[in-house]
Amino acid sequence: MFRHFDLVLFVAKRMRQHGGNKGNVSNKIVTIATIAVAIGMMMILIAIATGKGMQKEIQQKVVAFNGHLTVGHIENEEQSISTIPLTNQVSVRQYLDSQKEITEFHPYAAISGMLKTAEDFEGVILKGVDSTYNWSLLNDFLVKGDFPSLKNHHSNEILISQKIASRLQLNLQDQVDAVFISHQLQQYPNRRKFTISGIYNSGFPEIDNHLIMGGIGHIQAINRWAENEIGGYQILIDDFSQADAIAQKLYQELPIEMTTVSLLSRYGLIFQWISLFDFNILIILMIMIIVGVMNMSTALLALVFERTAMIGLLKALGGTNYLIQRIFLINGVLVMFRGLLVGNALALLFYLTQKQWSWIRLNPETYFVSSAPVHLTLWQVLGVNTLFLVVCALLLWFPTFMVMRIAPAKTLRVT
């Protein structure tokens, strides 16, 4: 068996090394097939890199500012602001600490209001957090300045978006007036004066248009809450795909007045949209495999017709149809392998240049990112190449059946 394979490989390699005149039709067709395979693999890997990159980038942005899950009062479930407080109970914190799926959690509260300058104003949502908040989640989005220092419970430092800063012509260390209306019965609005400690840019319009961040103490004071009353908990977990299942588990086990909402539910339309990237990748993969198989089949048929004399000689020497078919199949796989190498090299070049210089720009209002992000793993590259090679090799077996129709008596000529 191994000797037969050695013979098949030897003949296939000799066919590649001595392909005849470069002007032969078969050589031109093989070159075209190699280019088609290279372009196909390049397109597949670029589709995977950009599709997975978009999914990862958008997911990271939403998670960084919202967490994977939020726990709040059941009456606040459909609102983005905190109207009914929860008591920051020790028992609840101990329960969340005991859940191995939860990596960290932080208390927070949110209130709607308005930032006002002498010339303009802007509607905002103030998200209040305490000194335990993990600001490193937002490191990638900080444009300039620093995150608010919340060692003082009533710190006046806030973090605003670059878009809000541009609209109100604000900069670092500027002071800005803020107006909030509590849901408690009050005759006059609450006024605060904040200092801008940092400016962020998420590239996510739903966040950049409204969100500012500061100390939770201001929201507690405006709403006349006690210091142990909060809007809820922002929770991070170790497996985003299990967000809905973990949310359901927490909902069943936490006190009855608490509800749990996963990010997949809150931003359902966005996550449905980015999940379509997987379908697009699948369609591109199928099309490129079909194109590759068609081109390689044409190349194999051209080789078979050009090598009829060789086929007749091998049959006359006792070679079986199966052995000769394997010779041409291996020849096709070698051609395809060369195309795959070129395609992988081109895809890697695209990946590295896009990651380094972000030369493909996008409209963040439409795509939530300013440039096309890329993400590709070694296992994805190996998996796609293996799938492409195996499927094409299996389908290329059919064109080799032309070998069975070639008779030695008709192809060999005695001169």
319 plus 187 within the same structural domain: no
Q: Bridge partners of 160?
A: 199
Token output for 161: 């978006």
Q: Is 148 a member of any domain?
A: yes
Phi first, then psi, for residue 406 (nearest 5°) are -95, 120
109 plus 203 within the same structural domain: yes
220 plus 87 within the same structural domain: yes
* Beta-carbon contacts of residue 270 (< 8 Å; ≥ 6 apart): 58, 62, 368
109 plus 198 within the same structural domain: yes
Each residue's pLDDT tens digit, 81-94? 888 899 999 999 99
Query: What pLDDT band is residue 415 in, cutting at 50, 70 and 90?
Result: very low
By residue count, the chain amounts to 415
What confidence score (pLDDT) does residue 413 get?
60
Q: What angle do CA 394, 396, 400 make, to 5 degrees?
A: 120
178 plus 305 within the same structural domain: no
Q: Is 266 a member of any domain?
A: no
Q: Is 381 a member of any domain?
A: yes
Q: CA quadruple 284, 290, 294, 297: dihedral positive or negative?
A: positive
Asked if 219 and 178 count as a contact pair (C-beta separation under 8 A), the reply is no
Q: Is 365 a member of any domain?
A: yes
- Which of 29-33, 95-99, 227-231, 258-262 is predicted with the least confidence, judged by mean pLDDT? 29-33
Query: What pLDDT band is residue 69 in, cutting at 50, 70 and 90?
Result: very high
What confidence score (pLDDT) does residue 303 get?
80
Mean pLDDT of all residues in 166-184: 88
Q: Is 375 a member of any domain?
A: yes
Cα Rg of the chain (Å, integer): 32
211 plus 157 within the same structural domain: yes
Q: What percent of the chain has pLDDT above 90?
A: 54
Range of the domain at 53: 2-61+271-411
Each residue's pLDDT tens digit, 102-122? 999 999 999 999 999 988 999
48 plus 169 within the same structural domain: no
What confidence score (pLDDT) does residue 56 get?
92
340 plus 382 within the same structural domain: yes
Q: Is 221 a member of any domain?
A: yes
The residue among 205, 230, 255 that closes a domain is: 230
Q: What is the DSSP string of 266-298?
A: HTHHHHHHHHHHHHHHHHHHHHHHHHHHHHHHH
Query: What pLDDT band is residue 15 in, cutting at 50, 70 and 90?
Result: low
Each residue's pLDDT tens digit, 253-271? 999 999 999 988 888 888 8
| Distance, CA of 53 to CA of 363 (rounded, Å) | 16
What confidence score (pLDDT) does residue 411 get?
66
What confidence score (pLDDT) does residue 319 get?
76
Token output for 313: 């000689």
Q: Is 337 a member of any domain?
A: yes
The DSSP secondary-structure symbol of 371 reads: B
- Within 58-207, strands assigned E span 69-73, 86-87, 102-116, 121-129, 142-145, 157-161, 175-180, 190-200
383 plus 292 within the same structural domain: yes
- Which of 254-258, 324-328, 356-360 is predicted with the least confidence, judged by mean pLDDT? 324-328
129 plus 45 within the same structural domain: no
Which residue carries 């098949």 as its tokens? Answer: 8
Each residue's pLDDT tens digit, 123-159? 999 999 999 999 999 999 999 999 999 988 778 999 9
Each residue's pLDDT tens digit, 274-317? 889 999 999 999 999 999 888 888 888 888 777 777 777 777 77
